[in-house]
A and B are shown apart, each in its own frame.
Chain A
């Protein structure tokens, strides 16, 4: 693992730096998830994502049968600024073998 720049991983935000220009998964408040390419972020976890898919999950309970109906709503946005105060976690979308 070369270090062309100062790429030592010292603190959690450095882990996110490793994902710059990569696709990431973001868990967001109010049962929302985002998947997109990370173009920029800051210490507040404000982010700019490209080619973003937003997935909103809602759960309804049927009045009679009491079964839980899980619905997901999806939409795509080409380029999105995300305010950091809604972010819960940031992760690579999938682990692939190196």
Chain B
């Protein structure tokens, strides 16, 4: 797992999590939104704002929020910042509506994360 060169330099471009998510492309993640909706899918891409594109998306069924599942069945854009293409279950999620992302624990080098964080923190 490598981080982008921009991260390793003095710290003018501080995009640690962008690099981390780029390394996670292809893995299964669960994105929990600020409106409590949880969406599971394969990470397709991410950008510097941590906008997320998922493939093979499905709603993590929480019976607490059945009305949220219904919203997910509507086509295209709606106000919560999630756009779903139902024909292939692809999904774009605006970074600012994300509360958590549950990550796969395997295959993550936490030491690398620690080192990258220390370097990034120093640049600030």
Contacts and interface: CB of A to CB of B under 8 A. Distances in A.
Interface of A: 5-6, 11, 13-14, 16-17, 20-21, 39-43, 46, 48, 50, 77-83, 85-86
Contact of A83 (B20, B100, B104, B113): B100
B17 A50 contact: no
Give the 8 A-B CB pairs with smallest separation, nearest first.
Answer: A81-B101, A79-B105, A40-B113, A79-B103, A78-B105, A40-B117, A39-B113, A17-B121
B56 interface: no
Interface residues of B, number: 28
Interface of B: 14, 16-17, 20-21, 34, 50, 95-96, 98-105, 108, 110, 113-114, 116-118, 120-122, 124
Contacts, number: 72
A16 B17 CA distance: 17
Contact of B121 (A13, A39, A77): A13
Contacts of B100: 77, 80-83
A43 B14 CA distance: 8
Contacts of B95: 83
Contact of B114 (A14, A21, A43, A82): A21
Contacts of A79: 102-105, 108
B79 to A, nearest CB: 18
Nearest to A81: B101
A8 to B, nearest CB: 10
B86 to A, nearest CB: 26
Contacts of A78: 105
